[in-house]
Structure 1
Amino acid sequence: MKHVSSMDAAKTIVQRYLASHEDGQYTWRPFVKRGIYRREDYRYHADLQSLLPSAPLGSYSYIWGVYPSTGETTLRFALIPYGPVKIYVNGALVGESDIFSERYRSKQIFELPMKKGLNDLVLLCENTNGGFGCEFGTWVGKLDYYFLMPSLYSEMEGLCYSVAQETLLETLTLESLHSLDWYPERPELLGESVDLTSIFPDAKEGQCAVLATSFTLEKDLWCTFRSNARLFLDELPVEGSLELQAGRHTLLLHARIESPVTLEVLNAKTNDVIEVSNPVLPGSYPYRYLIAGPFDARPDVYSLQYTKPFSTANGEDFWHLEGEDTYLRMYNDNPLFGHWNYPLGVTLYGLVETERMLCSSDPSLAYRIAQYLENHIQASLDSYAYAMWDKEHLGGSTAVHHLMTSLDSLDDCGSFASTVLEVGKDHELHGFEEIIEVVRTYISKIQPRLSDGTFFRTGLMHEFHENTMWVDDLYMSVPFLIRYSLYAKDDSYLEDAINQFFGFAKYLYMEEEGLMSHVYDFERNIATLIPWGRGNGWALFSLSELLMVLSEDHPKRKKLLTFFRSLSEGFIRHQDEEGMFHQVLDMESSYQESSCTAMAACAFSRGVRRGWYENPEPYREGCVKACDGLKKKAIDSDGHVHGVCRGSEFSCSRHYYAEQLLPRLDDTHGIGIILLALCEGEKLA
């Protein structure tokens, strides 16, 4: 994108982003808490010796699931075998366990080929006296991808497994797979009544339940209702016959648990049956009702929602479906709506600053941004209570708030919570206090620290990060501590933020280069000595966040300003002729990386505008060049963002960063910070 203003470039990015993601919503699916489903480590556990206790040694079982892919790609897949396992994708053998992983039950990583659309994953497991079955799924803790059961199970989450087989199928086709008998057993749902005792087997005499269903009329019609339950139609009590308008209607049934519930909705003139269907699930699912209970007395039936748990006689609960151990479950299949993660925290920060810049020049686009921000963040806030219930009751891994429900790192919480507080300054957000306090408690009291109070990483589900310190964590902690300090009017959190910079510098600052090493590894007591671009960007940008709020007379301000100038000098000496910075800052042959270029532009602009530099002109020019470079190299005419490094691991080799840690199109690690850079460039101009 050439020869456009910074704000025009920002508007192009925002318009594309909103067009793709502003209409996000949650997905609901049935879930049966039996058989093979994800557990707290986010992997599927298939102990076939327990699931098939009568299977003879030497027999086999097939495990079958479906993975929906948005395009042709590979899926990184972990296998921890208990015995011999072969992996098939769409009928082709793509991997198998080895004797070492079988003996030690150690992790093997495979890249599974995926076509666009539905992909059939089949694991063939052999029963040996060493073990039978496997664990499988995500290669690293808390990645929230999941498998669906095949169509014979209505595509709910999980995998089915076959009855033990003495002989193998000659070929793996859908026809041959359908010829087998499968577990878990599928509930029979076609009866005229609903047996509530199978859903609430421990209910006491006299307790009741609420059932929700719906139906659609093509035209205005007189309808007759017959049921042994008390009925509420569109929130009003109903019995006998009513004239109803065309459209969708919701019917609530209040019923005693000890009696099977019956319901008929009829065309009053013809006596034809009007079919009822689930109020939330698509019509492809056989479940007709949502069911809540048990209740000691008739609840306020209108207060029961589809996104939050509610109180019952047995404590907090969520909607059940017909059948034993069957639940309605929430999923977030839209990658950029309603999620809570650190790249989206930065993305929304960039959007809110762009909205502020556009309020007078383009109020209609500013309003769209505001609506998206409020809808996205409010969805994240409103779904937190459900997610915590889901974690406790449905196996431990969630498909909503998978980070906050498995909170064990600054990555999980700080960036997005900081943005919630930032957006909350000039937007109406409801109920953010609880989750903000969870984040505050985690960062201040639970997150591991060295003896001097500096954050480091240990005790994580992601074992590769064990006993390390990452420069990234300055951004994952400091901006939140700053904003929480202002929110709570408590300077202790600001002091914590200040001290983090000195603690991180002790281990990561490379004085001769004026740059930060990406990671310090306490296992080997070494710093990686790689000046990764975005890692240094996190440090410089976070320091600018701190200096913006730190009082002029603070006793540590002078040392922080010296550090800011040193990092800025270390950065700017590596800016190339096109204004860009590189993936490894001092490795010119590494690719031009957009997110670190944007972070440098932000920090340079703030430093110039606020008088932090003794000689501001090189940084004024550096910001202008960086913004021009981003417009030419990183943003195309359709608003796509290029050249943003994906999320990283770490290495002591710069070739990992330059050759393996490659850029992705429209990666959220870069969208928001580029918007912030363009806003800062406009302010500087």
Structure 2
Amino acid sequence: MLIAVHRFIRYCPHALDDARAMCAAMIKAERAKQDGSLRPMIENFIDYIHTKEFRLEDGTLARNRPHLNTLWLDDLFMSVPALAQMGKLTGDVKYYDDAVKQVLQFSQRMFNAEKGLYMLGWVQGMDVHPQFHWARANGWAVMTLVELLEVLPESHPGYADVLAQLQAHIAGLASYQHGTGFWHQLIDRNDTYLETSATAIYAYSIARAINRGYIDKQAYSGMAFDPAFYYFRPVNPYATHGYGPVLLAGAEVISLLKNSFPKMNDSAVMFYPEEIETDQPIFGVE
């Protein structure tokens, strides 16, 4: 056993995949135990993340595979939680600074603010950056933001930006939730399958964000803000609030037809202010 541990301590990672969230978990365990037994392994991994992993010129953690100067969204989760936890363990602000920098610089390149979703990959040398919003990768991102905020001091100059990024991402994710409560494999493409692992990650992250006060509890678990409220409303053929609007709509459309001059033109119904000549009749309209 001691030989195995010794080899593990001396093991040199070659990518973030080799250190990943395991390092963050070790630091959490070390913070709980405070006996120093995990410290050599922690130092080995955090040194790789903080000083040896390849970076772009602005310090953003990157890969040179499968293309040069490539960002993978997964790498947020493989680096930021460990950096943030190391900041908590040591009190050294440089780890917090690096964690915040990664979140903000990844988001600058890979977050679609209009959709509130992250793309999976980004290549520096490309002029066009195709956007595929993979569900599980977005899960790593939202969980990273929650993990960072849990230990990042509120006095840190980047705290407000990280919090705003989390809120924007959760708002985006919530808008694409399927009626079953799940999310699609490609979040914004409804013809892809409903994906379990990402849904579980979102459920965890959103619930934790609510519990920690990062997002408004009422907005995400309150009055009619859950899509299930709408998807599973009971259907009643005798509901008068259904008949009334139908009668109102019918009466108003009849009035519209009587006071306008609808004609078929260029494959669509056009409403004209006066009679025009056309050889395309409107069926059912006299």
Indicate whether the TM-score tops 0.5: yes
- Aligned mates of 1:481, 1:428 — CA distance in 2: 18
Name whichever structure is richer in helix by fraction: 2
Q: Is the 8 A contact 2:85 2:151 kept in 1?
A: no
1:491 maps to which residue? 93
Q: 1:447 aligns with which of 45, 53, 57?
A: 53
Q: Is the 8 A contact 1:521 1:528 kept in 2?
A: no
User: Mapping of 1:49-88 within 5 angstroms?
Assistant: none
Q: Secondary structure at the match of 1:469?
A: strand
Provide closer, same or farther for how the CA distance between residues 429 and 555 of structure 1 changes in structure 2, counting only shifts above 3 A: closer
Query: How far 1:421 sits from its partner (Å)?
Result: 1.3
Q: 2:189 aligns with which of 575, 583, 587?
A: 587
1:424 maps to which residue? 30
Alignment pair present for 1:384 and 2:8:
yes
Query: How far 1:451 sits from its partner (Å)?
Result: 1.9
- 2:220 partner amino acid: Y
Q: Secondary structure at the match of 2:79?
A: helix
- 1:595 partner amino acid: S
User: Mapping of 1:625-664 within 5 angstroms?
Assistant: none
Q: Is the 8 A contact 1:471 1:517 kept in 2?
A: yes
- Aligned mates of 2:121, 2:74 — CA distance in 1: 9
Query: How far 1:591 sits from its partner (Å)?
Result: 1.3
Q: Is the 8 A contact 1:418 1:479 kept in 2?
A: yes
- 1:522 partner amino acid: Q
Give CA deviations for 1:290-313 in whole Å, capped at 9, x if unaligned. xxxxxxxxxxxxxxxx762xxxxx
Give CA deviations for 1:188-227 in whole Å, capped at 9, x if unaligned. xxxxxxxxxxxxxxxxxxxxxxxxxxxxxxxxxxxxxxxx
- Aligned mates of 2:225, 2:16 — CA distance in 1: 29
User: Mapping of 1:109-188 within 5 angstroms?
Assistant: none
2:279 maps to which residue? none
1:661 maps to which residue? none
Provide closer, same or farther for how the CA distance between residues 428 and 548 of structure 1 changes in structure 2, counting only shifts above 3 A: closer
Matched length: 227
Structure possessing the higher radius of gyration over alpha carbons: 1
- 1:413 partner amino acid: A
- Aligned mates of 2:225, 2:20 — CA distance in 1: 27
Normalising by structure 2, we get a TM-score of 0.71
Query: How far 1:536 sits from its partner (Å)?
Result: 0.9
Q: Secondary structure at the match of 1:413?
A: helix
Give CA deviations for 1:34-62 in whole Å, capped at 9, x if unaligned. xxxxxxxxxxxxxxxxxxxxxxxxxxxxx
Query: How far 1:517 sits from its partner (Å)?
Result: 0.8
- 1:496 partner amino acid: D
Provide closer, same or farther for how the CA distance between residues 487 and 566 of structure 1 changes in structure 2, counting only shifts above 3 A: same
Query: How far 1:432 sits from its partner (Å)?
Result: 2.2
Q: 1:551 aligns with which of 153, 157, 161?
A: 153
Query: How far 1:525 sits from its partner (Å)?
Result: 4.1
Query: How far 1:530 sits from its partner (Å)?
Result: 0.6
Alignment pair present for 1:530 and 2:136:
no
Query: How far 1:508 sits from its partner (Å)?
Result: 0.5
Q: 2:165 aligns with which of 553, 563, 571?
A: 563
- Aligned mates of 2:182, 2:219 — CA distance in 1: 15
Normalising by structure 1, we get a TM-score of 0.31
Gaps of 5+ in 1: 1-305, 309-378, 389-403, 627-685
Provide closer, same or farther for how the CA distance between residues 479 and 498 of structure 1 changes in structure 2, counting only shifts above 3 A: same
- Aligned mates of 1:420, 1:623 — CA distance in 2: 38
- Aligned mates of 2:82, 2:225 — CA distance in 1: 25
- Aligned mates of 1:535, 1:466 — CA distance in 2: 20
Identity %: 30
Q: Is the 8 A contact 1:602 1:623 kept in 2?
A: no
Give CA deviations for 1:482-532 in whole Å, capped at 9, x if unaligned. 111111221110111011111101210112111111100124244331111
1:182 maps to which residue? none
Q: Is the 8 A contact 2:88 2:151 kept in 1?
A: no
2:175 maps to which residue? 573
**Runs ≥4 residues deviating over 6 A:** 621-626
